[in-house]
Copies of this chain bind each other. A is one copy, B any other.
Amino acid sequence: MSASLSITQQEVRRRNLSLVMHAVAGFGPLSRASVAARIGLTRAAVSTLVDELIRDGLLIELGPSRPGTVGRPGSALQLNDQGPAGLGAEIGVDHLAVCAVDLSGRVRARAAYETTNRGRAPGPVLDDLADLVRHVSAQAEGEGLRPAGLAVAVPGLVARGSSAVVRAPNLGWEAVDVPPSLSSLPLTVDNEANYGALAEMWLGGDPSLRDFVHVSAEIGIGAAVVIDGRLLRGTHGFAGELGHMPVRPEGPPCACGGRGCLERYAGEEALLRSSGVDPAQAAARHPGPGGRIAHLAERADGGDQRVRRALHEAGAALGIALAGAVNLLDPQKVVLGGGLSPLLPWLLPALERELDLRVMDPGRVGQGAVIVSRLGPDGPLLGAANSVIQACLDDPTSLRAGGRGAGAVP
């Protein structure tokens, strides 16, 4: 126990400021009276909080709302669209991307390009990313925004609460620290699957979605678990490694040291191999991010039986691993991330069949329990940028001089 356990007035104030921000973010424009009614504080208390948030440039007041109504009209509050910006960056295996979102999560600046990061030394990749961040940051400032923090999504394991990439096999990185010098902004680094799941919760369009397993697929199988609206990080920050759930214990050896892991059946490389597709040829036919997936989808669509069989097997393996996860976690939904979308017509039937068969209480994974993300492949990038914004909403004082910084993911 430490001396900070009791709730101080300052913490109550911080929490109340956050409640105002979340009310306006979720339901604005709102009058002060409506905010007060929503969060259960007096109108006088809310007015003081709102004044503070306007002074800090987080809220703005529109003209009087509803001019036709009786009584003194209240001005409508909304998030300042020239307030703080959240910067998100993504280091993909074959691309770099950076975007800036405003307080309402709208993308206001963005830059991305294809490149080959796999096997490249981390230094030059990070230098390129720093250039891109500077570029997008300047664009955001040109839009009148104040960049408040940078969150970087990487396809690998990141040690909890650090910017240390412990291992990113598909980049060929081992023990790479993303340096704070990457930009002048407060920095957070996390696994791309984690940001993808957060994006689904914040932007996926279903505010009731608070407990789910999110499966993404870039080259490997990434997954993340959200419980009661919070990302499950795990003791070391490594939670969500669905790709290494044993599917067939005596199956083929996996790079992780195990055997028969999900990734050996449903990862992109395994899929290409079992489809008899040459990766280089696939990439040549469909260049750019997602090209190999697009190539497989084209062949399956064209009736290639070997590809279809491989996808069926991969869907079954996904279903077996997910059944274990569902029995263990009892989530509301399983969300399949955008990267897999092109293959779903061939993956989904076997996947759902295994879930139906193996999840202990059949009522749980009935129709609609498996949903497909509408965010497409942008999920991780948007999740990263929005994590900075969510940190602002959760602690609006974090942006002040001496504040706690806005890089933290909830």
| Interfacial residues, chain A to chain B (CB-CB below 8 A) | 1-7, 12, 15-16, 19, 22-23, 26-27, 37-41, 157, 166-167, 211, 223, 225, 227, 232-242, 244-249, 256-259, 261, 316, 320-321, 323-325, 327-332, 354, 357-362, 364
Residues of chain B within 8 A (CB-CB) of A237 are 330
Chain B nearest CB: distance from A350 CB in Å?
A: 12
Which of B242, B246, B329, B359 sits near A323, CB closer than 8 Å? Answer: B246
Chain B nearest CB: distance from A355 CB in Å?
A: 10
Interface centre among A1, A37, A242, A324 (most CB of B within 10 A): A324
Query: Contact: A256 with B5, CB < 8 Å?
Result: no
Query: Contact: A7 with B12, CB < 8 Å?
Result: yes
The distance in angstroms between the C-alpha atoms of A235 and B157, with both chains bound, is: 27
Query: Contact: B7 with A16, CB < 8 Å?
Result: yes
List 9 A-B pairs, minimum CB-CB distance, nearest first.
A234-B330, A3-B40, A258-B358, A241-B327, A239-B330, A245-B324, A238-B330, A244-B327, A244-B360
Chain B nearest CB: distance from A270 CB in Å?
A: 16
Query: Contact: B238 with A364, CB < 8 Å?
Result: yes
Which of B234, B244, B325, B329 sits near A358, CB closer than 8 Å? Answer: B244
Chain B nearest CB: distance from A319 CB in Å?
A: 9
Residues of chain B within 8 A (CB-CB) of A39 are 1, 3, 5-6
Residues of chain B within 8 A (CB-CB) of A332 are 235
Residues of chain B within 8 A (CB-CB) of A27 are 1
The distance in angstroms between the C-alpha atoms of A50 and B247, with both chains bound, is: 56
Chain B nearest CB: distance from A45 CB in Å?
A: 8
The distance in angstroms between the C-alpha atoms of A361 and B156, with both chains bound, is: 12
Query: Contact: B360 with A238, CB < 8 Å?
Result: yes
The distance in angstroms between the C-alpha atoms of A362 and B257, with both chains bound, is: 9
Q: A5-B39, A240-B328, A364-B238 are in contact. Are A248 and B245 (CB under 8 A)?
A: no
